[in-house]
Amino acid sequence: MIGPSGRKGENKMPEITISMAEGRTDEQKAGMMRDITQALVKNLGVDADAVVIQINEAPLRHKMKGGKTFVERAAAAKK
């Protein structure tokens, strides 16, 4: 994207926040963030240095789906 002054990506600092359950490795999270960064560079025309990504992780006991915590769901799946 070209801004009013003709500079690519001007005033276009995308900030992405990802909320997810804990349990993935640092390598998995870094790979995901690199892929998201490249998608924003490709699709929004911003520089990679303009992209900010933050991961908010929650303990499995603090996330719930279908009325059961992720800990309860994992225990039920083992039965």
- Which residues are identified as catalytic? 14
More confident residue, 3 or 34: 34
Contacts of 21 (CB under 8 A, 6+ apart): 57, 58, 59, 60, 63, 70
**Count of CA atoms in the C-beta half-sphere (13 A) of 12:** 18
**The residue count for the chain:** 79
For 7-35, the pLDDT digits (tens) are: 554 557 999 999 999 999 999 999 999 99
What is the value of pTM for the model shown? 0.76
What per-residue confidence (pLDDT) applies to 12? Answer: 77
State pLDDT tens for residues 29-63: 999 999 999 999 999 999 999 999 999 999 999 99
How many CB atoms neighbour CB 51 within 10 A? 21
